[in-house]
Amino acid sequence: MKKKNLISTLQGKGFDKIPIWLMRQAGRSLPEYRNFRKNFSNFMEMCLTPEAICEITLQPIRRYDYDGAIIFSDILVIPYALGMSVSFVENEGPRLGPLNLDLLTFENFDENLSNILVGIQKTKNKLPENVTLIGFVGAPWTLSTYMIGGKTKKNFDDVIQFSLKFPQKYETLMEILTDACIRFLCMQIESGVEAVQIFDSWASFVPDCFFDTWVIKPMEKISNHLKRKYPHIPIICFPKGIEAHIDQLVTLTDINALSFGSSAPIKTIIQAQKTHITQGNLDPNILCLGGEILEKQVIRIQNELLVSQRHIFNLGHGILPDTPLENVDKLFALIRS
């Protein structure tokens, strides 16, 4: 069996070659994805079709020598599985129905997500043996912002005000979402994923006084449960833009790796490498622009972060849809040279 470079790095064993995968590598930046997307009337249908999940997950693996394949899905399948209305408007993003805590239920949770599990199994059967299959969920805070706000927003005042005005309701919502994340991650692991990532994409908007309660504690509960049940499964945590809370994050000892956004100072990432594997940091805009600035930033990450053999090359967030493929080609040439 070929060595899984990504798993080896996540386990702290170093690597034979620089491990690399990119967030949103399966998606709109690829022409084969855009062509395949035309077969579906809506995005949620595609996320719940096993053949689509498998095909889209494998597309970037066929094109590039990625060490990780993140399963094609969306973080909002959890509110959908709990019984909430979830749809996607073309060129605008998600739309969720009104939040009613009394109607959130686990009654059909497993059944609503069953096609994703079939998609995972199909993908695992076709994946090259040296590529690690990655599952994921959105963290409770980030999921709550969509469920309360109804869509993607530039600020989360309504979510924060809801939590302050109805603290018991918000606490209940966070408990439901934490349990849902645990349940869905366990389902993904049982279906074949070999590592998991928890996306807290909007963590930087959490008020400092609530960071421990809304970000750290749910993450701790999720990771503790997974490590007790699946000690061999690496866990990556991506609370985007919260470098100021690095001292709290490194206390999450059941998490193997911390992923960093583009704004994270190098010294902060190096500090985190004392306790955790690190990941990310390259600005997606730099990959999109390409040229000399891309080469300089790749060399910077190689010289400052990869020398420890405790860093996974990735972006600070998802690859931008209009990223030229030749820039990704150049990135791989730089990494593999």
- pLDDT, tens digit (0-9, with 9 covering 90-100), for 179-235: 999 999 999 999 999 999 999 999 999 999 999 999 999 999 999 999 999 999 999
Q: Is 67 a catalytic residue?
A: no
Marked catalytic residue, from 24, 66, 183, 310? 24
Concerning whether 179 is annotated as a catalytic residue, the answer is no
- Kindly name the residue from 28, 64, 95, 179 that is annotated as catalytic: 28
Does residue 310 carry a catalytic annotation?
Answer: no
Residue 258, pLDDT score: 97
The answer to whether the CB of 141 falls within 8 A of the CB of 198 is no
Of 66, 80, 146, 170, which is the active-site residue? 146
Catalytic residue among 33, 37, 63, 64: 37
Task: Write down the domain spans for the chain.
Answer: 5-336
Look at residue 89 and tell me whether its pLDDT is greater than 80: yes
Q: Where are the alpha helices (DSSP H) in 1-42?
A: 5-10, 31-37
| Exposed e or buried b per residue across 38-66, where buried means at least 16 C-beta atoms within 10 angstroms of its C-beta | eeeeebbebbbbbebbbbbbbbbbebbeb
Q: Rounded distance, CA 298 to CA 331, Å?
A: 8
The reply to whether 146 belongs to the active site is yes
How much is the mean pLDDT over the chain?
A: 95
CATH number of 5-336, picked from 3.20.20.210, 2.60.120.680, 3.90.79.10, 3.40.50.720:
3.20.20.210
Q: Out of 66, 67, 74, 200, pick the active-site residue.
A: 74
Residue 1, pLDDT > 70, answer no
Indicate the pTM of the whole model: 0.96
Determine whether 67 is exposed, middle or buried from the number of CB atoms within 10 Å of its CB (0-12, 13-18, 19+): buried
pLDDT tens sequence across 254-312: 999 999 999 999 999 999 999 999 999 999 999 999 999 999 999 999 999 999 999 99
34 included as an active-site residue = no
Q: Can you tell me which residue has the tokens 């860093």?
A: 311
Residue 243: pLDDT over 90: no
What does the alpha-carbon distance between residue 275 and residue 272 come to, in Å, rounded to a whole number? 6
